[in-house]
Chain A
């Protein structure tokens, strides 16, 4: 079946502009995660959503970053007033639900990522 999709695949923007990155999870998956992969920091957790519960935003690096998930499906990660240090690959993942994940009965399925370059 279809996997996690992300758009755009590449985004080049100027410093100070806002960007929106989109993630379409696997159909039926209630948990959705955002990660960032940069040269200096490796892979970092940003935020996760589980169903209608309040998201865990503990990984967001600053208040310029926000994410929402509409209708329990598609998610948008927004970065306001982008800085050069925001340049990275932004990865989205989904899983059936976090309870199964915790039991080791599921895993996170990753999308291909969006490569963001801030000039």
Chain B
């Protein structure tokens, strides 16, 4: 079953604009990650945020995490045509012993199209 749900399912913007994607999840998590996928093939890791962190930056990426709302957002600033891809959030749930259960559970993704 899907743990995360991304919102929106599809987003189309112009180059230079910012893109915001949201992710919600259901159970307690250990970490939350965002991945990017081009053309339905390999996933590329973008950024990881731990459950005790609230915000993280990496280049043009900004991720926030609200564990009380079980949600995260990914902001891509100054978007480029090359950012066109599907973006997924993935969580590893907290296991019975309090650590991770190691298995990533993915949402269905947001398809981002950046028009030149």
Residues of chain A whose beta carbon lies under 8 Å from any beta carbon of chain B: 31, 33, 35, 37, 42-45, 48, 50, 56, 58-59, 89, 91, 93, 98, 101-102, 104, 107-113
Q: In the bound complex, do residue A43 and residue B106 qualify as a contact, i.e. CB atoms below 8 Å apart?
A: yes
Residues of A within 8 A of B35 (CB): 110
User: 7 A-B contacts, Cβ less than 8 Å apart?
Assistant: A33-B104, A35-B104, A37-B40, A44-B106, A45-B104, A56-B103, A102-B102
> Interface digits, B40-69 against A, CB 8 Å rule (1 contact, 0 not)?
111111001010000000000000000000
Interface status of B73 (Cβ within 8 A of chain A): no
- Total inter-chain residue pairs, C-beta < 8 Å: 61
Q: In the bound complex, do residue B42 and residue A110 qualify as a contact, i.e. CB atoms below 8 Å apart?
A: yes
Q: In the bound complex, do residue A104 and residue B102 qualify as a contact, i.e. CB atoms below 8 Å apart?
A: no
Kindly provide the distance from the CB of A63 to the nearest chain B CB, expressed in whole angstroms: 20
> How many angstroms between the C-alpha atoms of A45 and B103 in the bound complex?
7
Q: In the bound complex, do residue B106 and residue A48 qualify as a contact, i.e. CB atoms below 8 Å apart?
A: no
Known contacts A98-B100, A102-B99, A107-B48; A112/B107 CB under 8 A:
no
